Amino acid sequence: MVYQRSKSLLAARPLGSIENMYEENFTWLNHSLSPIHPDTDEFYIKVGEGDKAHQMSLLNISGTSFGSLSPSAIHSLNAGAALGKFSHNTGEGSLSKYHQAGGGDIVWQISTGYFGCRKSDGHLDRALFKKKSQLEQVKMIEIKLSQGAKPGHGGMLLGNKVTAEIALARGIKKGEDCISPASHPEFSTPDELLTFALELKELSGGKPIGIKLCIGHPWEFIAIVKAMVNRQQYIDFITVDGAEGGTGAAPVEFTDHLGSPLKDALVFVDNALIGAGLRGRIKIAASGKIVSAYDIVQHCALGADWINMARPFMFSLGCIQARDCASGKCPTGIATMDPRRYRALDIQKKAVQVRNFHHNTLVAVSELIGASGLKHPQFLTRRHIVRRLSGSDIRLVDQIYPKVEPGALLRDESVADQRLDVYWKLVDGGSFNFRD
């Protein structure tokens, strides 16, 4: 399907579904007897306020670091984003010249290593961040707290893979091991995180600022929300990364058994913001093994304002899932720094395929929500999706994941989400821990 859409071929199937619709946890979208025809040109979401607010497409490229992906792959993705008028997240490997080469909108991700804006001691170089963040092409700033593939792990790029170009992009020394710490050295509490985020927003000239995280201990995220409520200061967006998300290489146990899966995490974040009276102010992005138009619809119904994808856009470049990303020997030239391999990528051709996948996927979204009688994905709710719990037990998803009432947590009301009900009163913005 991804390959078909990237080449604008008909993505259709004869002779009916191959899905087992009576299988446990099978889901579907209810349709309307009054279908409509939404316009994909309207599938944008305003993020932030003032003259630096950004119109974010419903579908965007998730974090793709230079070094993890090749120069040609990064250039192709960004050029495709420019053609399709959507955004490209840099990933933690910094804002490279290849991210800028295509002229597409950029979300600059700032991770624990502060690559591209770091001092020699590993702390943030504020002057350098200010200079780069104010580039016209940079539209938003995302502080990465954790990722679904390996939350709480950090990482290391071995010195033999740190080329001169990677060293220049990241602000490190060529040939030396590049360490990504597990946590940020600039803050250690929710209050400090909020202070840091607002400082980056000011340094960038007021561009939208957000955080990316995989949900772990529920009280830690609640503490971040509490910090915003207590101070009446707010970030602009939250990217929820599911544990099913991927990366070039991650420990098997982390990949399989650490972090909250996306659907559960998304509902929790949505409920927390609603209950704290912040949902209208803060937007939510979702990422983590989302591929199809139906995946987009389902996650928007669970609370996402927009979707980030990485692997499907890699598929649109020609990725064959060889699962050899860490070796540097990617046969398609996508996940490698070997020029003999990545020079085979035709940047102009691949950029068109990236644009095609984005466009054709949004057309499919419009057809799905139109069949449900909706004009925009923002009108999707949990009651539009149905899940089969067993052979004869089917439920609207809002019966499985009940929404909290707006502001209920501020009024100390009991809510259906036990994580919020238990921990809201036990945390504050001064610590990620809760009071016994």
Do the domain assignments include residue 433? no
Number of domains in the chain: 1
Do the domain assignments include residue 233? yes
Task: Give 212's pLDDT tier (boundaries 50, 70, 90).
Answer: very high
Do the domain assignments include residue 436? no
Q: How large is the greatest C-alpha to C-alpha distance in the chain, in angstroms? A: 63
pLDDT tens-digit series, residues 239-249:
999 876 555 55
Q: What distance in Å separates the CA atoms of residue 404 and residue 384, rounded to the nearest whole number?
A: 17
**pLDDT recorded at residue 209:** 98
Do the domain assignments include residue 432? no
Q: What distance in Å separates the CA atoms of residue 264 and residue 400, rounded to the nearest whole number?
A: 11
Do the domain assignments include residue 248? yes
pLDDT tens-digit series, residues 229-286:
999 999 999 999 987 655 555 566 656 556 789 999 999 999 999 999 999 999 999 9
What mean pLDDT comes out for the span 139-150? 83
The pTM assigned to this predicted structure is 0.93
pLDDT tens-digit series, residues 383-417:
999 999 998 899 999 999 999 999 999 999 999 99
Residue 178: give the domain boundaries.
Answer: 23-426
Listing DSSP states for 56-73 in one string gives EESEEE----BTTB-HHH
Do the domain assignments include residue 5? no
pLDDT tens-digit series, residues 418-432:
999 999 999 999 999
Q: What distance in Å separates the CA atoms of residue 435 and residue 431, rounded to the nearest whole number?
A: 10
Question: Which amino acid, one-letter code, is at 334?
Answer: I
Contact 224, 190 (CB under 8 A): yes
- List, in order, residues 6 or more apart from 81 with CB less than 8 Å away: 60, 61, 87, 88, 102, 104, 105, 354, 358
Residue 174 sits in a domain whose CATH number is 3.20.20.70
**pLDDT recorded at residue 162:** 79
Listing DSSP states for 237-284 in one string gives EEEEE-TT---S---HHHHHHSS--HHHHHHHHHHHHHHTT-TTTSEE
Question: Which amino acid, one-letter code, is at 363?
Answer: V
Do the domain assignments include residue 86? yes
Do the domain assignments include residue 15? no
